[in-house]
Chains A and B, each alone.
Chain A
Amino acid sequence: MAYEELYREFNDTVPFQPIFQLATQPKFAIIASIISLLLITLSLSVSSSEKHFMTKLIFCATINIMASGFVGIAAVFAANSFGVYV
């Protein structure tokens, strides 16, 4: 595409809008970290309990999926909060 066309297209389009503002990401990082720690603690306590293996497996897998998700989000928000923009 010619430079003029691309330049015109840039001027005709709307600016990017972020989903999460940078200023709010430290708060979300802290919240996500706390939630993920609580979920991991719950998962570890369930895995140490005397319940049936399959019950524990299903319960722990479910909690671990949620905990992993929150850890992923917390890692991204925490990195951005410390100035390491990922």
Chain B
Amino acid sequence: MNASIFWWVFITFFIHMNSVLCIENFIPEQVWENIDYRRAIDVSKSYLSERVEIRAKNVGPESVTEYYFALPRNSLGKVSMFTAVIQGTDTYLNCQLFPNVTRLEETGEYVGYGVINFPSPIQPEQEFSFITALYYNVAGVPYPEYIAISDEQSLLLKTNRFPISAYPTVESTLTIGGSSSFEELNAPDDAYLKGKTNVPPNEEAIFFGPWDDIKPFEKEQDVEVVFNHNLPLNEVTLLKRDIWVSQWASTLEFKEYYELKNKGAKLDKGFSRINYMRDQQQADMRKSHYLAIIEMLLPENPFGHYYNDLVGLVSTAKIQENHYFLKPRFPIFGGWNYNFTIGWTNQLSDFLHKSNDDSDMYLLSVPLLNGPSDTVYDTVEYSVYVPEGAKIADIDTPIPFVNLSVKAEKSYLDLKKGHVRVKITFKNLVNEIAGAKILIKYQYTKNAFIQKPLSIAIYIFIALMFIFLLKNINLNVK
């Protein structure tokens, strides 16, 4: 009896675990051949962006509607955005990351996938051209790791040389651009595999290939490229963004807490105020690897700005239209962290619309980010507080999130359950998608609207009547 119970529990657990874990020996059906695979990596920002132009042919016996785009598994967890468009058009294709992976027997590495779905089936022997675009929360690493204040920063990028694909590739190239200088480290002796610079039309990039007849998952020595990038590598390890809706004040109040880090090269001899001031005087608009000014791009017509950090209010800030320039108490060199809070207010009418069909229904559209440019975000906790008494009808985001919760939270003059807080957690965002809009639809009736002054009025009325009774009850003992 005990043995049968054990096996029943074991089998149930095994089946359950298999449904939770990804399949590690997944191989996509071999129905595609990459006729042309052109991969371009842009290293100009604090994060990598990759654009792959693929012309693929259906070599299977039946029509196909999906293509498995391969990615190194360690990159899967760092993908911020994965999109695809039909070449020559603005038509976006339906894309999503796929949980199953392939284990390469030769190297022991794992390959993950993004699935691209086509709007109509691709017939046998038919070719189809599309472009995928990916943004990764990954950048080159400082090379060397330690530099002086006045030195220029270089980064090292390591990536696969050949295209990682589940399908055979007829011809492939790799281009890395976005810097004024590139140098390949540990280049292979074979000129067929080496990178070349000064190749038209993009003389500032480094070009690899063209390579012919690459087998599925064929691997060569990785590319190691050093390039000049004399800018800070801004990484927000945590952003807490709170947005408060007030229909009484007709305002949308923003409050953001940043934990910011510069991932760039560290100082070799520590910080010297004299060297820093000398570098500032000689800088003359030259770019630098440390962050002295943080420029926030806010929504149009903000007011009521403030900026403080863990010490207190910071007065070294300037507002120019919707640009908020912050000067931290100290420059942020490579490896240094800085925490700060900023806030501002906007008119609610710029973000909130009223439904045409139902006068109690409202639609809120709020931008995803308003932070500095050229920045990656590891974790974003995005909270929208709608007024007390509102009922959430719908929440929609254009990008995937990790967690979503709706609960009540009390604030000033909340005498009942409190504001309704919608909290969404995102991972691996880049400022490229800052303009994406979070949409929330909620119901806020006229009764709920007057509840706030009415609740206060009820308490005051009870207090006044209590005073009246105290004044008129005779407690004298005769």
Contact = CB atoms under 8 A, between A and B. Distances in A.
A and B held together in a complex = yes
A85 B345 contact: yes
Contacts of B248: 20, 76, 80, 85-86
Contacts of A53: 472
Interface in A1-59: 1-3, 6-7, 9-10, 12-18, 20-22, 25, 40, 43-44, 47-48, 53, 56-57
A11 B350 CA distance: 12
A80 B249 CA distance: 6
B61 interface: no
B242 to A, nearest CB: 12
Contact of B250 (A21, A60, A75): A21
B391 interface: no
A76 B413 CA distance: 8
Contacts of A1: 394, 396, 441
A21 to B, nearest CB: 7
A14 B411 CA distance: 29
Contact of B354 (A16, A20, A57, A71): A16
Given A10-B365, A22-B251, A65-B461, A76 B468 contact: no
Contacts of B468: 43, 47, 56-57, 60, 64
Nearest to B394: A1
B352 interface: yes
A48 B471 contact: yes
B477 interface: no
A56 B457 CA distance: 21
Interface stretch (B79-87, B268-276, B448-456): B448-456
Nearest to A86: B413
Interface stretch (B68-76, B98-106, B290-298, B355-363): B355-363
A75 B453 contact: yes
Contacts of A40: 464
B304 interface: yes
A73 B456 CA distance: 8
Interface in B417-467: 437, 439, 441, 452-458, 460-461, 464-465, 467
B182 interface: no
A69 B438 CA distance: 37
Contacts of B350: 15
Interface residues of A, number: 44
B148 interface: no
Contact of A72 (B394, B439, B454): B454
Given A20-B248, A80-B246, A73 B439 contact: no
Given A43-B468, A72-B454, A18 B355 contact: no
A25 B394 CA distance: 32
Contact of A47 (B411, B455, B472): B472
B452 A85 contact: no
B397 interface: yes
> Top 9 closest A-B pairs, CB basis?
A72-B453, A18-B250, A72-B457, A68-B461, A85-B246, A68-B457, A72-B456, A13-B353, A85-B249
Given A20-B248, A80-B249, 13 more contacts: A3-B398, A7-B396, A10-B363, A13-B353, A13-B354, A16-B250, A16-B353, A17-B354, A43-B468, A65-B461, A68-B461, A84-B412, A86-B411
Interface of B: 244, 246-251, 253, 304, 345, 348-350, 352-356, 362-363, 365, 394, 396-398, 411-414, 437, 439, 441, 452-458, 460-461, 464-465, 467-468, 471-472
Interface of A: 1-3, 6-7, 9-10, 12-18, 20-22, 25, 40, 43-44, 47-48, 53, 56-57, 60-61, 64-65, 67-69, 71-73, 75-76, 79-80, 83-86
